[in-house]
Structures are given as C-alpha cells and as structure tokens.
C-alpha cells in the first residue's frame, strides 16, 4: 500500500464530504471504525488487496483511551505505507450554525448540556490526532466544491511541493489552515485614500502607492528571502504543500499586493496557487 490517509476533525466540519471527495479520487474509504482496530484492518487489506490509496475516517466516537493512544496506532500504520492525517476544523460559531440548521445532535450531546461545551470537549479529545496532522483544512467558508479543490491542492498530484499563497483580512478572522501567517497591517494603508479605496492590491494604482513605500519593500524582501531559503527544505521533507497567509485589516489592498509580488518572484521555482480569501468583500 502506497498511501494511507486518516481523515478526522470536528463534527460538522465536513469529514463525510472529504471522504466522498477522496472516494471520487480513487481512494478506498472506510469510515467510523474504532481506532484500535485500524492497524489490524489495514494489515488485512494490505495482504489481501492490491490497494494503493486508502482513506480512513476517524471521529470522536472512538474511546478516550484509543484517542489518547493515537501515536501508537499511527506508528503501526506507517509499516504499510506513507501516512498523512487530514484534520478538518471550523470556527465555533459556524459549527453551531450548521448543527442548528441540520438539527442533528452532536456526538457528545448526551454528556453535555450545551453545544458549545460539546465543541470544546471534542477539540480536547481530538488533540492527539490534530498534533499529528500533516494537512489542516479550515472549512468555515468552504463549499463541497471548494473542499475538493483544497484537497487536490494540499494532497498534491505529484511529488512537487505546492506553495499556496493566501491573502486575508484580520477583521474576518485568521485562517486556521495556514503554515505561516505574516501580519502586514503596519504598512501604509491605501484604504484611507478615497481614490484608491475602490481598487485592490492587484490594480496598478494601489501597486504604485505601495511600491513608493520603503517599509513595504523591506517587508516583502524579508518574507521572500525566508521562503526562498526554507522552501527547499520543506520539499526535501516530502511536504506536498505549504500555505503562506498574508493578512492586512480588510484583505483587499496590502495583503493582496504582497501575495501578488511573492507569486511573481517565486513562480519560476515552485508550483503556486493563489487564494484571495476576502475577494467577495471587495468594494
């Protein structure tokens, strides 16, 4: 067996949808098995079937003891192939809204009075698996189609590292699936120029404004040199993707500009995907 994916995360964050996507991609998927049984089942499948891609859904319904012993299970699975852990997460308020809309009970609802208590306890129970995660995906604003695109990007379709450059606005929340987050709110803000406010960091008037700032150029240079130096090390460590998130206040001007400049500077060396998370909010 060449590749084993363990898919887990907070209830309501899209685990079932992720498994459906992986099934469409050719993975043999098994959901909701006790953690302690996974090594035995994977060994049996490895001996009796010619499977190259296996995806295993795990959730908080496993016993607390099994969840705490995840490291041992992980090590046993590594005997059968490359193991990646996909951890899906969603902001608390969005999870509460999803459960309210679906009217489905949380798996821990029999133990706690409020949905918020269930969510906080689940985070603690899943922490041993989260710490092993190699792929983090924040599904707060993602449709099923967005989730599929993200899985394709983060799992990688080859051995080449994919660099995901993402702009965002701090007022809409920090991305939960970023490997690196850089804050550029200290740079000159085009928002306060009424002529520039309607543009984005992709437009020439804003780019000219920011290019005149020595501080902006220094910030770009520092981020670029850090990535240029360390991305090869991540690639040698067989990482499939790195997500670099650049944040300003609203996610329209400064962060977008820095992402665009990084793309131009690095695209000759790396496969790059760009996401401007707040584009729907741009004026």
Is pTM beyond 0.85? Reply is: no
- Condensed to tens digits (0 to 9), the pLDDT of residues 188-233 reads 999 999 999 999 999 999 999 999 999 999 999 999 999 999 999 9
Annotated binding site: 9-16, 59-62
Percent of the chain past pLDDT 90, that is, above it, reads 64
Paired residues of 265 in beta bridges: none
Residue 231: per-residue pLDDT: 95
Other residues' Cβ atoms within 10 Å of the Cβ of residue 165:
24
Annotated binding site for GTP: 59-62
Q: What Cα–Cα distance (Å) separates residue 51 from each residue in 33, 54, 62, 72, 73?
A: 18, 7, 25, 23, 20
pLDDT over 70 at 271, yes or no: yes
Residue 145: per-residue pLDDT: 83
Residue 239: per-residue pLDDT: 76
Q: What Cα–Cα distance (Å) separates residue 105 from each residue in 133, 173, 229?
A: 26, 27, 48
Annotated binding site for ATP: 9-16
- Condensed to tens digits (0 to 9), the pLDDT of residues 138-194 reads 999 888 888 888 887 777 655 578 899 999 999 999 998 899 999 999 999 999 999
**Rounded Cα–Cα distance for residues 108 and 119 (Å):** 8
**Rounded Cα–Cα distance for residues 192 and 19 (Å):** 45
pLDDT over 90 at 26, yes or no: no
pLDDT higher at 141 or 249: 249
- Condensed to tens digits (0 to 9), the pLDDT of residues 42-92 reads 988 877 766 778 999 999 888 889 899 999 999 999 988 889 999 999 999
**Rounded Cα–Cα distance for residues 92 and 134 (Å):** 22
Q: Please report the domains of the chain, with CATH numbers, ordered by start residue.
A: 3-155 (3.40.50.300), 162-281 (no CATH)
Beta-sheet strand order (sheet of 82-89): 28-31, 53-57, 3-9, 82-89, 135-138
Other residues' Cβ atoms within 10 Å of the Cβ of residue 130:
18
Run of H or E residues at 29: strand 28-31
Confirm if 175 and 168 have CB atoms less than 8 A apart.
yes
């Amino acid at each position: 067996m060449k590749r084993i994916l363990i898919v887990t995360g907070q209830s309501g964050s899209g685990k079932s949808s992720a498994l459906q996507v992986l099934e469409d991609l050719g993975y043999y998927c098994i959901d909701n098995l006790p953690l302690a049984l996974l090594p035995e089942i994977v060994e049996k499948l490895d001996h009796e079937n010619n499977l190259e891609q296996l995806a295993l859904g795990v959730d908080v319904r496993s016993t607390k003891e099994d969840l705490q012993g995840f490291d041992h299970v992980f090590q046993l699975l590594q005997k059968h192939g490359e193991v990646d852990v996909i951890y899906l997460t969603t902001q608390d308020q969005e999870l509460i809204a999803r459960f309210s809309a679906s009217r489905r009970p949380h798996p821990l609802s029999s133990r706690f009075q409020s949905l918020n208590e269930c969510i906080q306890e689940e985070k603690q129970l899943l922490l041993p698996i989260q710490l092993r995660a190699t792929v983090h995906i924040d599904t707060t604003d993602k449709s099923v189609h967005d989730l599929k695109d993200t899985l394709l990007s983060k799992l990688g379709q080859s051995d080449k590292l994919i660099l995901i450059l993402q702009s965002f606005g701090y007022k809409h929340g920090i991305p939960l699936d970023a490997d690196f987050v850089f804050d550029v709110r200290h740079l000159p803000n085009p928002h306060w120029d009424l002529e520039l406010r309607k543009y984005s960091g992709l437009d020439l008037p804003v780019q000219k404004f920011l290019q005149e700032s020595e501080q902006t150029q220094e910030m770009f240079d520092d981020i670029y040199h850090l990535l240029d130096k360390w991305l090869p090390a991540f690639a040698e460590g067989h990482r499939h993707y790195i997500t670099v998130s650049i944040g300003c206040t609203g996610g329209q001007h400064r962060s977008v500009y820095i992402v665009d400049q990084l793309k131009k500077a690095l695209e000759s060396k790396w496969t790059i995907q760009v996401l401007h998370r707040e584009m729907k909010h741009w004026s």
